[in-house]
Homo-oligomer: A and B are copies of this chain.
Amino acid sequence: MLTDRQLFILQIIIDDFIRSAQPVGSRNLAKKDDVSYSPATIRNEMADLEEMGFLEKTHTSSGRVPSEKGYRYYVDHLLSPGSLRRSERTAIHSVFADRQEGLEKAVQNAATILSELTSYTSIVLGPKFNDHKVKSLQIIPIDAQSAVSIIVTDTGHVENKIFSLPEGIEPADIEKMVNILNDRLTGVPLSELRQKIYKETTELMRRHLHNYEAVLHMFAEASGGSPIGKLFIGGKTNIFNQPEFRDIEKVRLVMDMMEKEHDMYELIRPTEAGVQVKIGTENAEQAMEDCSLITASYSVGDEPVGTIAILGPKRMEYSRVITLVDFLSHDMTNVLTRLYNTRT
């Protein structure tokens, strides 16, 4: 177990390193106003902390640097809860102030604001529309061979896709189909749409139409839109600010990862509720070795629908970022719940 003094010294070392990015030595630590121990004493404690794995040295006679375990302990036990400045609060509130822009725009704004406030990289996974309910379905024929399927949800989200029409289908028939579809499928959540298309409408169609199967099938296929939200990344180049990323290869690794949508999905895929902190190799991704990731999911009602995250160096301002991410995710949850949860 750690003594109070060790905790204090560990905390002050990490705080200092987060600020300066320089290995911290006993002499400089002792100079601080709020430290009343001699360099020698501090050296002893440092040696102990290193033995326990909380600190590391970059070489035999350098100052100490927090290890991953050190950061972990710091985040779990030593974090002084940060508070937000008024200006930060208003900035965050303003993101969702303007409903008119549409949800996507708002989510993108969230990413921008987040990266500007932190000067790290922000990642926002837009809400998935699974549980949004069908408001209206349309099939618009484009020419003899193709048509566009359009799905409007009760949240105002629109999905559309081109699909091919079978030979010799009549516009009038399509109109009938659309009527049946709307009649039967309004209110169905997107996640269930594809199955219900068949279950709910087949019989009616059979009765009133011939040759409906092919169109229905194509339509059902076109409706299986992406079940996952869109990804927005803000401040991609902020990583260039970090002194430990002077190395072009390191930057490249991270940048490459950011270009791969799939990797990013995996990275921030929500695990538990609340704010999550993943430090360095705690992230599965190789490229994240020198980075930390702070995520929080936001919800509509009790259902988590998306994630916001901050990607920065391991030497991140954990306290501030955690507060920020926590605050924004709650804000988003509140706004979205108020907006969309009136439906249930």
Contacts and interface: CB of A to CB of B under 8 A. Distances in A.
A244 interface: no
Interface-central residue, A102, A156, A246, by most chain B CB under 10 Å: A156
A143 B164 CA distance: 32
Interface stretch (A13-21, A32-40, A147-155, A319-327): A147-155
Contacts of A259: 236-237
Interface string A154-179: 11101011111000000000000000
A150 to B, nearest CB: 6
Given A236-B255, A255-B236, A259-B236, A140 B152 contact: yes
B162 A156 contact: yes
Interface in A235-270: 236-237, 240, 246, 248, 251-252, 255-256, 259
Contacts of A135: 140, 142
B142 A156 contact: yes
A136 interface: yes
A152 B154 contact: no
Contacts of A160: 152, 158, 160
Contact of A158 (B102, B136, B148, B252): B148
Number of chain A interface residues as a range? 20 to 34
Interface string A6-37: 00000000000000000000000000000000
A136 B150 CA distance: 12
Interface string A270-311: 000000000000000000000000000000000000000000
Query: From DSSP, what is the main secondary structure of chain A's interface residues?
Result: mixed
Interface-central residue, A148, A161, A256, by most chain B CB under 10 Å: A148
A272 to B, nearest CB: 32
A138 B256 CA distance: 41
A90 interface: no
A285 to B, nearest CB: 16
A325 B257 CA distance: 27
Contacts of A236: 255, 259
A161 B158 CA distance: 9
8 contacts: A100-B164, A102-B161, A138-B150, A148-B156, A150-B152, A158-B160, A240-B248, A240-B255
Given A100-B164, A150-B158, A158-B160, 14 more contacts: A135-B140, A136-B140, A140-B152, A142-B155, A143-B154, A148-B156, A160-B160, A236-B255, A236-B259, A237-B255, A237-B259, A246-B248, A251-B251, A255-B255
